[in-house]
Structure 1
């Protein structure tokens, strides 16, 4: 009898859990149907990733900051300053009119190409073997970071403008591919292997979402592999990274030592981790603990649960970005949103991939979590652009115009977006509006007084005018 009661209690408990999950799913589905759900969800993910980054940078950089500068907060304060600057830039991108972003995208691209050329001269300075930085007093930045956004904005503008001709390869690839290859060449001359990979992600995403045929991607991937092999064999530090990845991992080389220590840190974390600030890998066992390999410190201190939370957040970024692209009617917004989303998620996947040992080390930071200057600011700008595009969904525009800006829009003083108006279709030269066919002129002599005498024109149909043919 007791066994029956126990089984009945377990059955009711299981049924209650199932009912709770169904209720949660229905509530989430109902919330996602709201007009501004994409905008609000994106802001939540943005805030959580930024908070994760601040906590982990403080924990991962405290030991090295104290050993080098005597303060455990030096790297953290710099990262906090970059986050504040990035938040201002994110707000500006959120308020920027969409028509202005598209109209001046070619100017933005030209400025970035000029900066990528100047960084190779004496105006730029080298760091970690790559001459890819400008330094203006205490401020330094990488021009390749805004160049990624410029390529996405301008490339989407060109492809959308020529969307009726994209079935022809010359219209599909020109001028997007030559401009992208020029940008690749300038970045590879620095050399910056990781930024070249992210630029390749932007280019492939543009062509993919523009509807390029699959056979084109085989040629592009072959060219990309050839370029990467050339970069690897031209610069020895890339050879050491590749050989350490495919080798036995003996730990004698610096890059292999870095990857090995990252995997050991992840293994020490277990399910729930050692706790914030209690990891041992940052005690000069793991180089670049606050930057390239911060995911290893996160796994050591927060365990599998922390790593899964970060993966869930980036998965949500992918969902929201594609949702914004699918729900918009402006083809330029659709293409830019999908491209920027693929860039963020692809960079996060590459960083996590080489930390866990699935990919060679490329030196790409984890967006919004790794410490950095230009990368953090530009990543926040991308989130601002996506939030701007989320407010341009047709249902969101209708809600904002009828119900007002809402709490967040009123707090941020965001302008009400204008509805999308498709451009007027141009007709071919020979396809003018056809005129009404004129009545056939009667044969015989014309009545000279017909053009001047209006009364005769209005004569009844049954009364025949003089001079008219029978």
Structure 2
């Protein structure tokens, strides 16, 4: 016998006056409102959870490795084994909620505020050249407020991704006209790039170039135009590199393979001891916390060279797992790009992917001796508050895109966005 979802009266007759409103008419069920509330808690896509899970794992893993790699030097300096790890944990506690908040912001809001964010990031970078600016190892790329320091160029990376995404969205119908694309993108790139290079940070500038190229390629720029850009970079890069004496000697040491014994105590100390740390780890490592290189043998053990400590303590297995996690993150972001039909979403996701994955590969290549020392940290793992927080916010932007992919399904096999005010309502306990 057919069932009904109308309330029964005391007499047992469905739809009697006991079940009616004061006007005598049956109350209208707020189907749209109920479904709208339920959609807040609807299951996200598997891509969303994959990106979120890998990110959280890498952040926790990073805090553990910062503790392991920095404990000895921290105790020698401050008699506190947990100094660097505590700070990294605090940055993670701040960054993860910001990532989750960013994941709730719709793509249209990111697009609307992209250029404002870009302008604010440029203003922050200008502080580097004020009395607030701090120079570290020849690079003037930090600002200090008392005991607090920050790196504005990390915010510029996200701002650049959003800015280029907004430009590609506006110019989406003019991709064949190189002037329409590369003039605004060129201006948006040269300004922050020049500011970073003026401070002497070529490593960050290289990551920004990778980000821009990734954004243009994924955003639909023509291959012939990209080849012209690559050719221009190949011509200009040697001049920029040789403009600094410190870069020249570092590249010279890298090209010679650090075979000059006179350079061992200076330029080759860090790369040589990084390779020794990796080699001593073998397949399974010497065990978490048992690194010898961290006993003041390896400079920047918790930052630029943390991958060497991972290889020493966790071995080849641990190093491969880290690489695999970054590959999973890249594949998940590619899924977001493939499933979206929004040029802004595609471009920004491509830029963030190029930034995070490209920076990870550059860092690992430096540790392996495939590139000269560039001072680029390992995303989500290396110590550093500005880098961690801005990387988490950038991943939050991608999560916001993954949350609203076209055709996203619930575990019922239905697209939740087809329900709501005016959508199909439950009938007899079922959805038609």
Please state which band the TM-score falls in when normalised by the shorter chain: 0.7 to 0.9
Query: Residue in 2 aligned with 1:314?
Result: 326
Higher relative contact order, chain-length normalized (CA < 8 Å, sep 6+): 2
* 3-state secondary structure, aligned to 2:103: helix
Show the 5 A alignment for 1:172-183. Answer: 172-183=181-192
Shift of 1:213: 2.6
Cα distance in 2 between the residues matched to 1:153 and 1:86? 19
The alpha carbon displacement at 1:222 in A equals: 3.1
Say if 1:64 and 1:284, in contact at 8 Å, map to a contact too. yes
Cα drift, residue 154 of structure 1: 1.3
Selected match of 1:158 from 158, 163, 167:
167
1:114-150 deviation per Cα after TM superposition (whole angstroms, max 9, x unaligned): 2222312223121221111121222211111111111
Identify the residue that residue 425 of structure 2 maps to in structure 1.
Answer: none
Deviation at 1:183, TM superposition (A): 1.3
CA distance in 2, matches of 1:44, 1:254: 41
Ranges in structure 1 where 5+ consecutive residues have no aligned partner: 1-33, 406-415, 419-470
- The structure-2 alpha-carbon separation of the partners of 1:184 and 1:417, relative to structure 1 and needing over 3 Å to count, comes to farther
Structure 1 residues 397 and 180: alpha-carbon distance in aligned structure 2, compared to 1, 3 A threshold: farther
Q: 1:102 — aligned with what?
A: 111
1:355-391 Cα deviation digits (max 9, x unpaired): 0111111111001110011001111112211111111
Change (3 A) 1:124 1:35: closer
> CA 1:297/1:94 → structure 2, altered by over 3 Å: closer, same or farther?
same
Instruction: Show the counterpart of 1:335.
Output: 347
Change (3 A) 1:417 1:312: farther
Deviations 1:19-70, CA, capped at 9 Å, x for gaps: xxxxxxxxxxxxxxx9611011111101211121011100000011011111
* Structure 1: 4+ residue segments shifted above 6 A: 397-405
Aligned residues: CA RMSD: 2.2
SS across alignment from 1:55: helix
Hey, what's the Cα distance between the residues in 1 that align with 2:414 and 2:334?
26
Q: Are the equivalent residues in 2 in contact too, given 1:392–1:417 (CA < 8 A)?
A: no
Q: Distance in 2 between matches of 1:56 and 1:335?
A: 33
Q: Which moved more, 1:52-61 or 1:137-146?
A: 137-146
SS class of match (1:254): coil
Q: Any conservation in 2 of the 1:397–1:417 contact (CA below 8 Å)? A: no
The count of residues paired between Structure 1 and Structure 2 equals: 375
Mapped contact 1:155–1:206 kept (Cα < 8 A): yes
Moved more, 245-254 or 258-267: 245-254
What is the rounded CA distance, in whole Å, between the counterparts of 1:60 and 1:214 in structure 2? 43
d(CA) in 1 for partners of 2:140, 2:354? 27
1:391–1:417 contact (8 Å) kept in structure 2? no
Alpha-carbon distance in structure 2 between the residues aligned to 1:278 and 1:379: 29
Q: Report the TM-score when normalising by structure 2.
A: 0.82
Structure-1 separation of matches of 2:407 and 2:415: 12
Could you tell me how far 1:329 is from its partner in structure 2?
Answer: 2.4
With the length of structure 1 as denominator, give the TM-score of the two structures.
0.76
